[in-house]
Amino acid sequence: MKNRLEEIRKSRGIRQEELASALGVSRQTIGSLENGRYNPSILLAFKLARYFGMQIEEIFIYEEDEG
């Protein structure tokens, strides 16, 4: 699943460490999310969306052939 997390985070001038701390996850988790290596739980996706004041679909892009 692709996402716009890095783009959104950078546009708001937030460091990975700050975002991780605010969401209660490790910085590595944020890095892995941004690289697309890790898909978050629905809970973390909601936390991220709420943090940025956006909808989940605005951050994460679901592609039909992902299975």
- Structural tokens at position 61: 């892009």
Helix axes 27-35, 16-23, angle to 10 degrees: 110
Distance CA 45, CA 50 (A): 9
Binding site for other proteins (CB under 8 A): 20-21, 24-26, 28-29, 32, 38, 40-41, 43-44
Q: How far is the CB of 9 from other proteins (least distance, A)?
A: 17
For other proteins, the closer of residues 13 and 43 by Cβ is: 43
Q: How far is the CB of 24 from other proteins (least distance, A)?
A: 6
